[in-house]
Amino acid sequence: MFRSIRHRLALFTYSWHAIGPASMLRNSVRWSADAEARAVDSGFDARYGTDTNADLTPGEADILIDRHHAATMYLPTMDQDLAAMLAALPWPESLRRDATFIDLGSGKARVVLLAAMQRFRQIVGVELSPRLHLAAVRNVERVRDAGALVSPVRLVHGDATAFDAPPGPLVTYLYHPFREPIAALVMDRLVASLEASPRPAAILYCHPALQPGFHPSVFGQRDVFQLAVEGGRQTRGFLLGWSVWTNDAWLDRTTIPVPLVSGAGEA
Ligand SMILES: C[S@@+](CC[C@H](N)C(=O)[O-])C[C@H]1O[C@@H](n2cnc3c(N)ncnc32)[C@H](O)[C@@H]1O
């Protein structure tokens, strides 16, 4: 009871800063509408004995106070939304299997687990909150013990702005984890890594339409990524938007074919 009042207060303060009082009033119905959809989605935890369903503000997740306004609250991605984004990724199966799937802001590892049930080179989850990271470690152990993972998983407790992308093709997933200035820093680092070592990369980004999504220029930095597909999900007034970005066109421009060296037999 006391926890519930404290939680409601934390949510109220968080929403006040995240979307503002006017939008809170307009959208209270929409929040509850998605709560219904989320209740249906809690089947994941029932199936695997995990604990991924929660809504925790940055304060409740023990994120340091100076980062509260830069981080968003924890909510797991719904299975159907990740499935829709992966289905929209215009990559051949062979390229996908060779890619590292990275969830920046991985929370309790719902997406990490769903991705690790498919074939990728490896799955990496990066999470700032110590509390969520610990929960993620436990969740991964449970599902691994149940034999349900087909790809290796690495969980990193740290800040996405300091994460170095591994070599090889990359699929980077973001469920609106932080505010736009942090997203710009993260993208700058990713783009610098691709410029230093050009390779196929994709971004899967989704956000509740209640909060303004990142401006396209965040992903379009230095013309490396282009929008490939957009989509969304609507349930009784709640709207979730998503977009898939790829770097194929940039890669074609950047990867210059090696010129043929004249052979000794040529005149
Ligand atoms: C909306 S939740 C998404 C959780 C998970 N990706 C999923 O879709 O199920 C966003 C997560 O990003 C984390 N986060 C916020 N800022 C971060 C940062 N700078 N570095 C790493 N994680 C961060 C939050 O703690 C939260 O767990």
CATH of the domain at 213: 3.40.50.150
Domain assignment of residue 20, yes or no: no
CA of 152 to the centre of ligand 1 (A): 20
60 CB less than 6 Å from ligand 1? no
* pLDDT of amino acid 26: 64
Q: Which domain holds residue 145?
A: 79-254
Domain assignment of residue 28, yes or no: no
> At CA 174, angle to CA 207 and CA 51, rounded to 5?
90
- Higher-scoring residue by pLDDT: 76, 17: 76
Name the pLDDT band for 31 (thresholds 50, 70, 90).
Answer: low
Q: Which amino acid is at 105?
A: G
111 CB less than 6 Å from ligand 1? yes
Across residues 119-132, what is the average pLDDT? 97
Domain assignment of residue 44, yes or no: no
Domain assignment of residue 135, yes or no: yes
Per-residue exposure over 40-75, b if at least 16 CB sit within 10 Å of its own CB, e if not: ebeebbeebebebbbbbbbebbebeeeebebbbbbb
Checking if the pLDDT of 237 tops 80, the result is no
User: Which of 72, 75, 108, 163 to probe ligand 1 with, by most ligand atoms within 8 A of CB?
Assistant: 72
Domain assignment of residue 43, yes or no: no
81 CB less than 6 Å from ligand 1? no
Name the pLDDT band for 27 (thresholds 50, 70, 90).
Answer: low
Domain assignment of residue 202, yes or no: yes
In 3-state terms the chain splits into helix, strand, coil percentages (rounded to 5) of 45, 20, 35
Checking if the pLDDT of 188 tops 80, the result is yes
Domain assignment of residue 21, yes or no: no
Task: Please state the domain count of the chain.
Answer: 1
CB 222 within 8 A of CB 191: yes
Q: What percent of the chain has pLDDT over 70?
A: 87
pLDDT in tens, 219-232: 999 999 999 999 99
Domain assignment of residue 64, yes or no: no
